[in-house]
Amino acid sequence: MNMSLHRLVYFSANEIAGSTARLREEVDQILETSRRNNALVGVTGALMFSAGYFGQVLEGPQAAIEMTFERIQQDARHADVSLLEFVPIATRTFESWAMAFVGEPADADLDGWQSTDFNMSAVSGEELLSKLHSLVAKSSLAA
């Protein structure tokens, strides 16, 4: 098993149809599963939802990242998974989060999803990472 610390950054298109409430429920489930699984294998990171896209940073032992990303890619709740970066790193950016979350509400009355106003499909891995880092730092709900 390769244990060297790596970071993987990708974005994907949302495939969860229906109301904002349904989207929110599914994302809550994704986060619950992610936090449970990631904690077991030493993966940390952040997930963002904005304008119909997911963006995610995963960091941890290389083998754990690879296994996690294999499962994520097969998930029908998103499509067109596009890898932006998979690199060795010296330190984690999201060390205290099994999976932080920042998102944008489609309905203003859904609290807890802050606006992101960010086009994920037009950025590099570094840009997505730094956007997520600043959003998570600002969000009291990310933990």
Query: Where do contacts with ligand FMN occur on this chain (CB under 6 A)?
Result: 30, 33-34, 37-38, 47, 54, 56, 58, 68, 71-72, 75, 77-78, 99
Closer residue to ligand FMN in complex, CB, 75/127: 75
Q: Which of 140, 62, 51 is CA-nearest to residue 101? A: 140
What's the min distance (Å) between Cβ of 23 and ligand FMN? 11
Give me the helices (H) in 1-143, please. 20-41, 62-73, 125-138
Tell me whether residue 72 or residue 142 sits nearer to ligand FMN (CB atom).
72
Whichever of 26 and 127 has its CB closer to ligand FMN, that residue is: 26
Find the shortest distance in angstroms from Cβ 71 to ligand FMN: 4
| Separation of alpha carbons 70 and 68, rounded Å | 5
Question: How near is the Cβ of 38 to ligand FMN at its closest, in Å?
Answer: 5
**What Å distances lie between residue 49 and 65, 113, 118, CA to CA?**
20, 9, 10
- Sheet with 44-50: list strands edge to edge: 78-88, 5-14, 53-61, 44-50, 100-103
Nearest-angstrom CA–CA distance, 103 and 85: 21
